[in-house]
């Protein structure tokens, strides 16, 4: 797959940690680290979307603007699919 070169701005402490990870051999380069992190985030979002779609289908609910505003914050918490499902059930059944 073709690669595109981009420019991003990172907080200095984040960049320092990425460079340390590369130096420790956890990734081949800063670019490889950022690409892996982006793929992991996209996979997490896909998983969240799948759980959300399943919950909405089971409950017959639709997302309110408040639901949509709250959704991005859940991704950064590192919840598992089961945890998301349980939390969503409480919200949708409440």
pLDDT in tens, the chain (94 residues): 899 999 999 999 999 999 999 999 999 999 999 999 988 888 877 777 777 778 778 888 877 777 667 666 554 555 566 666 666 655 455 4
* Domain boundaries, given as residue ranges, for the chain: 12-93
Quick one: how many helices (H) and strands (E) in the chain? 4, 0
Q: What's the pLDDT at 1?
A: 84
Q: What is the pTM of this model?
A: 0.57
Nearest-10 Cα torsion for 77, 19, 15, 80: -10
CA distances from 11 to 8, 18, 25 (A): 10, 11, 22
């Amino acid at each position: 797959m073709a690669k595109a070169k981009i420019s991003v701005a990172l907080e200095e402490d984040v960049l320092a940690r990425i460079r340390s990870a590369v130096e420790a051999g956890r990734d081949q380069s800063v670019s490889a680290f950022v690409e892996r992190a982006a793929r992991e985030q996209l996979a997490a979002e896909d998983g969240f979307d799948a759980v959300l779609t399943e919950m909405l289908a089971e409950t017959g609910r639709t997302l309110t603007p408040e639901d949509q505003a709250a959704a991005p914050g859940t991704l950064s918490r590192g919840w598992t699919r089961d945890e998301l499902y349980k939390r969503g059930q409480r919200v949708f059944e409440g």
